[in-house]
Amino acid sequence: MIKDFEYLSPKTLQEALVLLDQYRDVYKVIAGGQSLLILMRQGLVAPEYLIDIKGLSELNYIQSDAQEGLKIGALTTHRAIEKSPMMKNGFSVLAEMEHRLASIQTRNWGTLGGNVCHGEPAGDPVPVLIALKASLCTVSLKGQRNMAMEDFCLDYFETALEPGELLTEIQIPPAPPHTGTAYTKFNVIESDMATVGVAVSVTLDSGDGLCRDSRIVLGACGPTAKRAKQAEEILRGKQITENLLKQAGQTASQEVEPISDISASEEYKRELVKILVARVGQEALARARQA
Ligand X SMILES: Cc1cc2nc3c(=O)[nH]c(=O)nc-3n(C[C@H](O)[C@H](O)[C@H](O)COP(=O)(O)OP(=O)(O)OC[C@H]3O[C@@H](n4cnc5c(N)ncnc54)[C@H](O)[C@@H]3O)c2cc1C
Binding site for ligand X (CB under 6 A): 28-36, 74, 78, 101-102, 106, 110-111, 113-115, 117-118, 123-124, 161, 166-167, 191-193
Say if residues 127 and 218 touch (Cβ distance below 8 Å).
yes
Minimum Å distance from CB 278 to ligand X?
23
CA 146/CA 155 separation, integer angstroms: 19
CB nearer to ligand X: pick between 31 and 231:
31
Minimum Å distance from CB 128 to ligand X?
10
CB nearer to ligand X: pick between 117 and 202:
117
Minimum Å distance from CB 153 to ligand X?
12
Q: With residue 126 as reference, give the H or E element that holds it.
A: helix 125-131
CB nearer to ligand X: pick between 34 and 171:
34
Q: How far is CA 185 from the centre of its chain?
A: 13
Minimum Å distance from CB 218 to ligand X?
14
CB nearer to ligand X: pick between 164 and 249:
164
Contacts of residues 213-218 at CB distance under 8 Å and 24 or more positions apart, as own/partner, are: 213/176, 213/179, 215/130, 215/131, 215/133, 216/131, 216/248, 216/252, 216/277, 216/281, 217/127, 217/128, 217/130, 217/131, 218/127, 218/252, 218/256, 218/273, 218/277
Minimum Å distance from CB 210 to ligand X?
34
CB nearer to ligand X: pick between 102 and 202:
102
